[in-house]
Amino acid sequence: MSSDFPSPLADPTPKSPVILAAYKARAAAADLAPLPRSAKDDALLAMADALEVRTKEIVEANAEDVARARAAGTAESIVDRLTLTPERVRAIAADVRDVVALPDPVGEVVRGFTLPNGIDLRQVRVPLGVVGIIYEARPNVTVDAAALCLKSGNAVLLRGSSSAYASNQALVTVLRDAVGGSGLPADAVQLVPGESRESVRELMRARGMVDVLIPRGGASLIRTVVEESTVPVIETGTGNCHVYVDAQADLDMAVDILVNSKAQRPSVCNAAETLLVHRDIAARFLPRALDALAEAGVTVHADERVAAVAEQCGTKATVVPATLEDWETEYLSYDIAAAVVDDLDAAVGHIRLWSSGHTEAIVTSSQAAARRFTQLVDSTTVAVNASTRFTDGGQFGFGAEIGISTQKLHARGPMGLPELTSTKYVVTGDGHVR
Amino acid sequence: MSSDFPSPLADPTPKSPVILAAYKARAAAADLAPLPRSAKDDALLAMADALEVRTKEIVEANAEDVARARAAGTAESIVDRLTLTPERVRAIAADVRDVVALPDPVGEVVRGFTLPNGIDLRQVRVPLGVVGIIYEARPNVTVDAAALCLKSGNAVLLRGSSSAYASNQALVTVLRDAVGGSGLPADAVQLVPGESRESVRELMRARGMVDVLIPRGGASLIRTVVEESTVPVIETGTGNCHVYVDAQADLDMAVDILVNSKAQRPSVCNAAETLLVHRDIAARFLPRALDALAEAGVTVHADERVAAVAEQCGTKATVVPATLEDWETEYLSYDIAAAVVDDLDAAVGHIRLWSSGHTEAIVTSSQAAARRFTQLVDSTTVAVNASTRFTDGGQFGFGAEIGISTQKLHARGPMGLPELTSTKYVVTGDGHVR
C-alpha cells in the first residue's frame, strides 16, 4: 500500500518489543480483514498439518517446561495440564480442523434496511482487529486461540504462562510457518515477547493498538487485567453457580441434576457450588440429595436448616457448618454450600446477592416457577430442568469456544466465532446529502 | 423479596453518596428488568406529561445555571446549549413520546435452537442493568438518556456538568416523581450526588455496581473516562471523518457530498475533516471543489499538490499549508484538510493512519472501487456516494440515539435501544445431564 504519509513504524521513537509486536499485529489484521473464508481455511489446514508433522519438536520443547515445573515442585495436576504428548498434539490438530468446518462470521449482514430516503443501510460483521489473550499454563489454548482468531479474521497476541514459554514458542513457530507458508501474514499469530510481568502490563496499556484483551485463568489474573487494563477487556470465567430445587420438583430429576452439576467435573466454571432447596420440599428431598452427594464424594457446607435435616435423617454425607464465606466461594472441588430458602423469591434474592452471574439452574415441574426464575435471575445462563454443566460453547453447538464471558458488554456466556467480531455500517446512496 | 441472608445495604460500613446511589440503582434495575413494555411506556408518558406541566420550575432552575454561566464569562454558544426555554422543554417532552413509540428490545429472542440432545436454547435480550452517563452542559441529554435507559429496562445514573446542576436537579426531580407516580421505582433515574470531580471518580470505580459507563462530550472527558474507569466503558464520539473522491466520480455529486459533509453542520462528530482526491481527477475536481468550499466559508488546509492546483486555478478559497497535525485534527469548524493521493489504496492508507474510525465516504462511479474501499476501510460507517452526515441514530431509523460508539466492543456506530441491552441464554430441558 503506497502512502505519502509517515507510518508509525517509521516513527524513530524506540519502541518496546511488545509494542512492536502490536504494530505488526495491526498490519497483519488489516491484511486479514478482507480475506475470503477459503484463504483462512487453507491456512488453518496448513496449521493442523504442521502440528502433526512437527510433533517431535513441540513435544521436546514441552519436555523442558515439564522438567522445569517438576523441579519447582509444581502440583501434579498443573503439570498434567502443561504436558503435551504426541496424542495430545494430534487432538489439538484435530480441533483446528474442526474450526475449518465452522462458518466464517465475517461478512454476515446482521441487519439491513432501505431508509425512507432510498439509502441502503447494511450492518456487516467485521473482525475485531487485534485480540490479546492472557492465559495460564495450558499450551492447547495457544493453538485454540490462534485458530479461532484467524478464522474470524483477527490477529492474535498470545501471552501464556511463563511456565509454558518453551512449549508456546515451539507451537507458535510451527503455526507462524504454516500461516506464512499459505500466503497469509505470519504476524497474524504472535507470542508476546518476554516472560516478565512488565510485558503483560504493556499489553494491558496498548489501547488503540490492541482491540480487546481476553484473560483466561484464575480469578486473580482476571481481576488484575480488569482493573489495570486500558484496552477493553472481556471478563471470563468465574462461576459460583447455583442449583435451586423448587417446591414442585421431580425428586429423581433434582438429584440427577444436582449431582451432575456438582460432581461430573468439579474443577470447571460451570460446576455448581451452592444448592438451594425450597423449605416445603426440604424434608423429602435433602435426605436423598445428601446421600447422593456423599456417594459422589462431596462435602456439604450446610446452613442450620440443612444441618437439622441432615442430623434428623442420619445421612452418611459429610456435613460441616456453612459460614458467610461459603455463599460466595467458587470451590472448584468436591464441596457444595447448601441452604433451605422460604420460597422461589428468596432463592432469587440469595442468587442476586452471592452469584458471580455465570449459570443458575432451577428444577421444577411448575411452569409459573420456571418462568419467574428465568425472568428474575440475571446470569449469563439460566437452566430449567437441566444441569449447569451445559453452559459451554461446544454444548451450545458453537463448535468452539474462546471463553465464557461473565460480563454484560459485547458478549455474555460462551463465546464462539461471532463474538470475536464487531460490525460496521455500509451506507450506499446515489449522491445523497442532508 | 424475603431472604435469610444479609443485604449489602445492611452492611454497616459507611458508604459514599455515589455508592449508595449505585446500590439503589441496582435494586431498581432488578425491579425494572422483568417489566413488560406497557408498564415502561406508561412511565415514559407520565415523564413527558410532567415535563410539560412543570415547565416553569424547570425553566426557573435553568435560569440560575444560565446566570451563573454568563457571570463566569462562558462562551455564548455554550450558554445557548445550556439554555432551556418553554419551547425547548416541550420539544424534550415530545422526544420522550417518540421513545414510547419505539419497540421494546427486552425479551427479543436473538437466536434459538434445539440442540441435538433435545435441549431448547434461547438467547434473549435483557437490560444491561445500571448505566452511567457522564456528559457535558446539555440538559436535554438528562431526559433523553433517562428515557432511553428506562425503555430498555435499565436504571440510569446521570452525571451532568456541574454548570447544569440546578437544571439537572429540577429535571430529575420531575422525572423521578413521574416514574414513582406510575408505580415504578423512582431510583431508576438518579442524578449522581455532588458536583465534585471526586464523584465522577467514584462512579468510574464502581465496578460490579455499574454495568457500563457512556461518556458523552469532548475528547478530553472521554479520554479520562476510558483511562481511569474500571467499569466497562463505551467510547463515543470523536470524528475525524474523510471524504475520498475517486478517479471515476461524478463531479457534481462529489462537490455536493463534500460541501454537505463539511459544512451542513460543522460542529458535530460526523462532519468531514479531511478531503482526499485521486491524482487523476485533481486538476478537474479541485478548482470546483475549492470554489464551493469557499462559498460555504470553509478554509482549506492543503498539502503541496492541492496548493499547486489552487494556485494554478486562482481559486477564491482561503488556502493555507497543511502540517502533519492537520491530518489528525477534528476541527469541528469551517476548516478542512485536503490532500491529493496517488490511488485508492493510498487514500485507504491515509485513513488507516489518521482517522478516528468514525465515518469515511467515497465518491465513485466504479463498482470495483466502491467494493474495495468498503472492504478495506475499518470505521464504524463507510459511505458510498453519500454524505458522512448520515451516521446518526435518527438518520439510520433507530428512532433515538444514546451516542455513537467509536469502539469495536459491544456496539459500534450509532447506538439505539438494542445497544443498551445484553443477552442471557435460557436452557430448557427435561432433566438433561451430561
**Mean pLDDT over residues B380-404, rounded?**
94
Is A327 close to B5, i.e. CB distance below 8 A?
yes
- A15-235+413-428 topology per CATH: Aldehyde Dehydrogenase; Chain A, domain 1 (3.40.605)
Question: Do residues A426 and A122 lie in contact, with contact meaning Cβ atoms separated by under 8 Å?
Answer: yes
**pLDDT for position A213:** 95
- Site of grid cell 438518579: B190
**pLDDT for position B102:** 96
pLDDT band for position B33 (cuts 50, 70, 90): very high
Distances from the Cα of A381 to the Cαs of A368, B218, B369, in angstroms? 19, 38, 45
When mean pLDDT is compared across A41-50, A400-409, B112-121, B268-277, the lowest value belongs to: A400-409
Q: Check whether A296 has a pLDDT greater than 80.
A: yes
- 3-state secondary structure (DSSP) of residue A401: coil
CA distance B167 to chain A (A): 31
Question: What number of CA atoms fall less than 13 Å from residue A31's CA on the CB side?
Answer: 18
Closest Cβ–Cβ partner in B341, B425, B433 for A260: B433
**pLDDT for position B10:** 52
Residue A115 touches chain B, beta carbons under 8 Å: yes
C-alpha to C-alpha distance for B422 and A235, rounded to whole angstroms: 14
Other Cβ atoms closer than 10 A to A195: 14
Q: Check whether A389 has a pLDDT greater than 70.
A: yes
C-alpha to C-alpha distance for B164 and B169, rounded to whole angstroms: 9
- 3-state secondary structure (DSSP) of residue A103: coil
Q: Chain A contacts of B253, Cβ < 8 Å? A: 430-431
**Residue A340 dihedral angles phi and psi, to the nearest 5°:** -95, 135
Mean pLDDT score across all residues of chain A = 94
**pLDDT for position B193:** 87
pLDDT band for position B328 (cuts 50, 70, 90): very high
CA distance B418 to chain A (A): 12
Question: Do residues A112 and A123 lie in contact, with contact meaning Cβ atoms separated by under 8 Å?
Answer: yes
Is A433 close to B389, i.e. CB distance below 8 A?
yes
- Site of grid cell 458508604: B15
Residue B83 touches chain A, beta carbons under 8 Å: no
Q: Scan residues 233-272 of A and list those with Cβ closer than 8 Å to B.
A: 233-234, 250, 252-253, 256-257, 260-261, 264
What are the boundaries of each domain within chain B?
13-235+413-428, 241-395
Residue A339 touches chain B, beta carbons under 8 Å: yes
**pLDDT for position B153:** 98
Nearest CA in chain A to B303: A4
Q: Chain A contacts of B3, Cβ < 8 Å? A: 341, 346, 349-350, 353
Q: Check whether A9 has a pLDDT greater than 60.
A: no
**Mean pLDDT over residues A46-61, rounded?**
98
Is A434 close to B264, i.e. CB distance below 8 A?
yes
A to B CB pairs, distance under 8 Å = 268
Q: Chain B contacts of A324, Cβ < 8 Å? A: 6
Largest CA distance in chain A: 84
Is B396 close to A115, i.e. CB distance below 8 A?
yes
- 3-state secondary structure (DSSP) of residue A423: strand
Q: Check whether B9 has a pLDDT greater than 60.
A: no
Share of chain A above pLDDT 90, in %: 87
pLDDT band for position A2 (cuts 50, 70, 90): very low
pLDDT band for position A286 (cuts 50, 70, 90): very high
Q: What angle do CA A67, A69, A71 make, to 5 degrees?
A: 70
pLDDT band for position A400 (cuts 50, 70, 90): confident
Pairing mode, if any, of strands A381-386 and A359-363?
A: parallel
Closest Cβ–Cβ partner in A211, A226, A424 for B230: A226
* Nearest in space to B149 (alpha carbons), one of B196, B185, B110: B185
**Residue A167 dihedral angles phi and psi, to the nearest 5°:** -60, -45
Is A434 close to B352, i.e. CB distance below 8 A?
no
Other Cβ atoms closer than 10 A to B170: 22
Beta bridge partners of B320: B301
C-alpha to C-alpha distance for B373 and A178, rounded to whole angstroms: 29
Residue A302 touches chain B, beta carbons under 8 Å: no
Residue B325 touches chain A, beta carbons under 8 Å: no
**Mean pLDDT over residues A345-372, rounded?**
96
pLDDT in tens, B37-90: 999 999 999 999 999 999 999 999 999 999 999 999 999 988 999 999 999 999
**pLDDT for position B222:** 86
pLDDT band for position A226 (cuts 50, 70, 90): confident
> Which amino acid, residue B250?
D
DSSP state of B230: S
**pLDDT for position A12:** 58
Closest Cβ–Cβ partner in B253, B346, B430 for A431: B253
Q: Check whether B5 has a pLDDT greater than 70.
A: no
**pLDDT for position A208:** 87
Distances from the Cα of A413 to the Cαs of A390, B79, B224, in angstroms? 11, 46, 30
**pLDDT for position B204:** 94
Residue A114 touches chain B, beta carbons under 8 Å: no
Closest Cβ–Cβ partner in B2, B327, B343 for A342: B2
C-alpha to C-alpha distance for B34 and A292, rounded to whole angstroms: 36
Residue A75 touches chain B, beta carbons under 8 Å: no
* Nearest in space to A48 (alpha carbons), one of A105, A98, A115: A98
C-alpha to C-alpha distance for B391 and A87, rounded to whole angstroms: 53
Q: Chain B contacts of A432, Cβ < 8 Å? A: 385-387, 390
**pLDDT for position B47:** 98
**pLDDT for position A11:** 60
Is A391 close to B432, i.e. CB distance below 8 A?
no
Is A426 close to B33, i.e. CB distance below 8 A?
no
Distances from the Cα of B39 to the Cαs of A231, A269, B127, B160, in angstroms? 38, 37, 15, 27
Contacts 24+ apart (CB under 8 A), A294-298: A294/A318, A296/A259, A296/A262, A296/A263, A296/A334, A297/A263, A297/A334, A298/A262, A298/A263, A298/A334, A298/A335, A298/A336
Distances from the Cα of A332 to the Cαs of A238, A265, A271, A336, in angstroms? 10, 9, 7, 9
* Nearest in space to A49 (alpha carbons), one of A85, A92, A87: A92
**Mean pLDDT over residues B262-269, rounded?**
94
**Measured in Å, how far apart are chain B's first and last C-alpha atoms?**
33
Question: Do residues B22 and B143 lie in contact, with contact meaning Cβ atoms separated by under 8 Å?
Answer: no
- Please return the burial class of B355, using the count of CB atoms within 10 Å of its CB with bins 0-12, 13-18 and 19+: buried
Residue A229 touches chain B, beta carbons under 8 Å: no
**Mean pLDDT over residues A288-301, rounded?**
98
Q: Chain B contacts of A413, Cβ < 8 Å? A: 123, 423-425
Q: Scan residues 84-113 of A and list those with Cβ closer than 8 Å to B.
A: 113
Which grid coordinates are listed for B426? 435460557
Is B432 close to A341, i.e. CB distance below 8 A?
no
pLDDT in tens, B159-203: 999 899 999 999 999 999 999 999 999 999 999 987 788 889 999
Q: Chain A contacts of B408, Cβ < 8 Å? A: 128-129, 211-212, 232, 422
Mean pLDDT score across all residues of chain B = 94
**pLDDT for position A94:** 97
CA distance A425 to chain B (A): 5
**pLDDT for position B6:** 45
Closest Cβ–Cβ partner in B123, B341, B433 for A4: B341
Which grid coordinates are listed for B290? 475549492
The pTM assigned to this predicted structure is 0.93
Q: Chain B contacts of A116, Cβ < 8 Å? A: 397
Closest Cβ–Cβ partner in A207, A230, A427 for B386: A427
pLDDT band for position B29 (cuts 50, 70, 90): very high
Question: Do residues B261 and B367 lie in contact, with contact meaning Cβ atoms separated by under 8 Å?
Answer: no
**Mean pLDDT over residues A239-264, rounded?**
97
Closest Cβ–Cβ partner in B126, B232, B379 for A409: B232
Residue B350 touches chain A, beta carbons under 8 Å: yes
C-alpha to C-alpha distance for B67 and B46, rounded to whole angstroms: 30
Q: What angle do CA A314, A320, A321 make, to 5 degrees?
A: 115
CATH number of A241-395: 3.40.309.10
Q: Check whether A3 has a pLDDT greater than 50.
A: no
Is B211 close to A409, i.e. CB distance below 8 A?
yes
Q: Chain B contacts of A406, Cβ < 8 Å? A: none
**Mean pLDDT over residues A324-338, rounded?**
95
Share of chain B above pLDDT 90, in %: 87
Distances from the Cα of A44 to the Cαs of A41, A131, A156, in angstroms? 5, 17, 14
Q: Chain B contacts of A103, Cβ < 8 Å? A: none
Q: Chain B contacts of A428, Cβ < 8 Å? A: 370, 383-386
> Is the CATH number of domain B13-235+413-428 3.40.605.10?
yes
Residue A291 touches chain B, beta carbons under 8 Å: no
**pLDDT for position A10:** 52
